[in-house]
Structure 1
Amino acid sequence: PVPKSISAARSARILCLQDSNSNTKYFDFVVVGSGVAGLRYALEVSKHGSVAIITKAEPHESNTNYAQGGVSAVLCPSDSVESHMQDTIVAGAYLCDEETVRVVCTEGPDRVKELIAIGASFDHGDDGKLHLAREGGHSHNRIVHAADMTGREIERALLKAFHPTALADEGLPIKPTNRRENAFLITEAVRGDGGILYNQSMQRFMPLYDERAELAPRDVVARSIDDQLKKRGEKYVLLDISHKPREQILAHFPNIAAECLRYGLDITSSPVPVVPAAHYMCGGIRAGLQGETNVKGLYVAGEVACTGLHGANRLASNSLLEALVFARRAVQPSIDHMTRSSLDIHASTMWTRPVLPTSLESHAMQEILFRTKTTRVELQSIMWEYVGIVRSTSRLKTAEWKIGELEAEWEEFLFRREWKPMMVGLQACEMKNLFCCAKLVVSSALARQESRGLHYIEDFPFLEESKRKPTIIFPTSLKLTWSSQQAHKLAAGAPL
């Protein structure tokens, strides 16, 4: 935070203090991430102080931009908050925090209306009302959407809401320059719109696993597909929407149709090969009802947060909803914290400043980049192979060991090429974060000795009521290496 006298002097552009002796800039609010949560929060707090939005790539490059389905909210007279709550809790295998669920389901409709007021354009039916779709796990049509590109439309509207002079010095380009590889999702809305899953013998299989068939929650569908693939020794199943009218398919799923055509697949006339994919992190930094954490002044919203909404499995289209609700709830507490705080320039000396690896020889840097790229692929393979849809204690322990070995080898490789602990680079920072997240997922999975929601473990295949409580991992319970060591501890000379 900056001094109150500075906070009082506001205009339409971002104002910040800058240390004349360094390149350090000081803002009232720093927002890390430019997805729906970050941008929605920034729009509000920018009315009360200077804001820096930090994103590692183009502003559009966020998980929000890849969210196809929509935002779930009670906007139909035949629907109810209680029904939305019940669907959320059932999908979450009764591990959801009921108070959080009520808050999100109650406040959701107003958050959607705010988006519309900001300029987001959602699909409407012939009657002029919002077209509400249905997805797996929902008992009513309550998904507000913009065809199959809802996240992209929300991101567009929020970015446009910023006046150009209210952005960072470099400005915010509207179109991303890079394309994300190997990340094309088929929205759950295809199943909600009548899509049917078949094995390669064109046998419909979902009714064999759940009475809700294709409208079962995603954890049930993912396990069912996984079971079919293993039993039949096949690589994929088929999702078919071609029995629906061509015009309806193209109207509801234009992006999916176009993307599939790039690979020679016409979804209006033939089924699409699909497999389950790692998609969303249900856990995260533990947060209260205002997005607050146990770190004073740090608020979280969106996929980074664990609010208790999702429980053991996220209900379709509840992710954008949660981000909107908690981004808005974190605003006033943040303002209150900022106004009663004062700037302590010396606080930053607790942390050794990160440095770019400019001192490294170019060949050493190239070797590090290549090794990091291959290490990332190896880590992904370990997680998919040992920490996937169906787990076991022995395989989780194997993953724990393999991840530890891989991390140690990667770190040793870097340090042998003169990499220093406080050096930073995009690929290295991402690799550190991936190792940290992987270890957290494995630790959490080992701690839950029951099968609940998306966590299915063969050693404990049943629900245990006595274990119906959230898993909390404390930093001290993890074996820390350079990758997961806190920077201020490194600065203090803590052993690696």
Structure 2
Amino acid sequence: MRRYLYPWSKSEVKVFDSDVLVLGSGIAGLYTAIKASEYFKVTVLTKKTIEESNTEHAQGGIAVAIDESDSPTLHFEDTLRAGAGLCDPLTVRILVEEGPSCVEELMDMGAKFDRHDGELALTREGAHSQRRILHALGDATGWEIERALVAKVKDNPNITTLEGRFVVDLLENDIGDIVGALVLNEETGELEGHLAKAVVLATGGLGQVYRFTTNPSVATGDGMAVALRAGADLMDMEFVQFHPTALLIPNAPRFLISEAVRGEGAHLINAAGIRFMDNIPGKELAPRDIVARAIWKEMNQGSVYLDFRPIGQERILERFPTIHQTCLKYGMDVLTMPLPVAPAAHYMMGGIATNSYGETSLAQLYAAGECACNGVHGANRLASNSLLDGLVFGARIVEKIRETIKVKSPSWEEVLSPLGNPCGTGFVNHGTVKQLEDQGLRNRIKDLMWDSVGILRDEANLRKAKELLMAWEGDSVSTCCVEDLETGNMLSVGLAVAKAALDRMESRGGHFRSDYPLHLDELWQRHSLQRKEDYHVRYVPVSGAD
């Protein structure tokens, strides 16, 4: 794997600096920036607009043990159970115990959650033993959280936000410390060097490597790819969560149908109108991997539907106005008819390996949110734990930065320059001929990942995927438009997923091998690790130690 996506010259780069550089504008990035701004000057860079992230699209809510009948201990137990033996108990304990205060702070920042008779309204989702899911505007929780955080950031004089900035690679000095990021200004086509005493990756997931995904177009695995090229460890990349219920209508996007719909009482039925989950423990509210595979199996016999009608029309309109209105656009009225659904790639449980303070294997580099992996989600994330994850570990990153931040700012002179010739006039904006060629490669990646590294996996298909992705990755990126750079990142992270899935010869959580269907704790209750110079995937035991 090359160190940089393409060669570049230091003399062509505009240089900026700040104390803390945050890459990404979802819940993890913005919350971290706000917390860090109490002590430091912060720059937030975002690929598109500040509002565009996976957070904005989150419907169901945020899981937190705040009800009198609930407790952090019950939340802890539910998370471990869903994680299929790969959760690190220490990080899960931190999540559930520090979560309530972080959510209270989020509300102090302006996030308004739904209430009933003056009390916070709570619902239940799959694999939760209690009603502990906070939601906003019915089914627009992510939008409301993003709205509140964006408003807070824009009103903060210690935070500078720059939109339309694509992170190309991380910058390092001669002792291997990360000192900033090389960034492409999408409007001007110019390279920028953003230097900082600490860099936080909060760039989200990689759903776009799959043909069918609930993720927005920005989710191309950029943060994981740049960290891998810089030499950081990736962990548990075989564990991709496929959401069981996404809208399945020809020519329509795989719009997410929140798990909260089933939490409120909707039924999964087959073409004959039969509830095929009836004989499975937990029924419609079993863990996501179980429900997704059950739907996938049922789809071999015919269509699968999610029937909202048992919820009742009044409750549907109150809790799921966005879903109702979106489905109406495609001619489907959930008040009167079952909705056709299918699984889609939704969330990456793996990512950049971190400890419980968000520290990666590279000095001064931190990661939070979906691009990070600290063992809190194990092999199968418990529904609605992701937003909480971004809050809790974003706050802990700031604690660690305060302890370890260097007094002296990095200088442009100490940044290591890449080998090779300058890219020169290779910088191009959208709409180039190369982009059309690149779109073909992107489509091949998405189809290959869906067909061969998807919900059901086997050795032959995984080996085919690994070999093809390795061959495609050998081609150089010949222009510097964002689409090309995204495709290069999709190749890198797709290959990491395929390699880890091929090596893990068992089935666990979101990783299911039809040729190795058993869950084998004695051999495989271990985290996978990958580094760019490693030929083989490495493994470390699941541990509660930090």
Q: Aligned residues, how many?
A: 439
* Structure 1 residue 133 corresponds to structure 2 residue 117: no
Runs of 5+ consecutive residues of structure 1 not aligned to the other structure: 1-18, 173-178, 480-496
Distance (whole Å) between structure 1 residues aligned to residue 341 and residue 296 of structure 2? 11
* Structure 1 residue 427 corresponds to structure 2 residue 418: no
Q: How does 1:176-195 map to 2 (within 5 A)?
A: 182-195=253-266
Partner in structure 1 of residue 341 of structure 2: 274
What's the CA shift string for 1:469-492, capped at 9, x where partnerless? 11111221259xxxxxxxxxxxxx
* Maintained 8 Å contact 1:356/1:425: no
* Maintained 8 Å contact 2:126/2:263: yes
Runs of 5+ consecutive residues of structure 2 not aligned to the other structure: 1-9, 165-215, 218-251, 537-546
Deviation at 1:459, TM superposition (A): 1.7
Q: If each structure's strand is expressed as a fraction of its own residues, which one has the higher value?
A: 2
Relative distance call for 1:473 and 1:360 in structure 2 (3 A) is: closer
* Structure 1 residue 59 corresponds to structure 2 residue 50: yes
Deviation at 1:243, TM superposition (A): 2.2
Relative distance call for 1:357 and 1:219 in structure 2 (3 A) is: farther
Task: Look up the SS of the partner of 1:399 in the other structure.
Answer: helix
Partner in structure 1 of residue 444 of structure 2: 378
Deviation at 1:400, TM superposition (A): 1.3
Partner in structure 2 of residue 36 of structure 1: 27
Task: Look up the SS of the partner of 1:396 in the other structure.
Answer: helix
* Identity rate, percent: 39
Distance (whole Å) between structure 2 residues aligned to residue 329 and residue 261 of structure 1? 42
Distance (whole Å) between structure 2 residues aligned to residue 300 and residue 157 of structure 1? 22
Q: If each structure's helix is expressed as a fraction of its own residues, which one has the higher value?
A: 1
Partner in structure 2 of residue 369 of structure 1: 435
Partner in structure 1 of residue 459 of structure 2: 393
Deviation at 1:362, TM superposition (A): 9.7
Output the amino acid matched with 2:531: F
Correspondent of 1:116 among 107, 116, 133 = 107
Higher relative contact order (CA 8 A, sep 6+): 2
Correspondent of 1:468 among 487, 508, 525 = 525
Q: How does 1:95-494 map to 2 (within 5 A)?
A: 95-126=86-117, 128-146=118-136, 147-164=138-155, 166=157, 168=160, 182-208=253-279, 210-230=280-300, 232=301, 234=302, 236-351=303-418, 358-359=425-426, 366-408=432-474, 411=475, 419=478, 424-466=480-522, 467-477=524-534
What's the CA shift string for 1:363-385, capped at 9, x where partnerless? 9x732100111211111110110
* Maintained 8 Å contact 1:282/1:303: yes
Distance (whole Å) between structure 1 residues aligned to residue 456 and residue 148 of structure 2? 39
Output the amino acid matched with 2:513: I
* Maintained 8 Å contact 1:36/1:320: yes
Distance (whole Å) between structure 1 residues aligned to residue 161 and residue 285 of structure 2? 47
Distance (whole Å) between structure 2 residues aligned to residue 305 and residue 33 of structure 1? 12
Task: Look up the SS of the partner of 1:279 in the other structure.
Answer: strand
What's the CA shift string for 1:216-260, capped at 9, x where partnerless? 010000000011112x1x3x4100111222121011011100100
Task: Look up the SS of the partner of 2:348 in the other structure.
Answer: coil
Deviation at 1:340, TM superposition (A): 3.7
TM-score normalised by length of structure 2: 0.76
TM-score normalised by length of structure 1: 0.84
Partner in structure 2 of residue 83 of structure 1: 74
* Greater C-alpha radius of gyration: 1
Relative distance call for 1:342 and 1:475 in structure 2 (3 A) is: same
Distance (whole Å) between structure 2 residues aligned to residue 21 and residue 370 of structure 1? 27
Relative distance call for 1:150 and 1:362 in structure 2 (3 A) is: closer
* Maintained 8 Å contact 2:22/2:44: yes
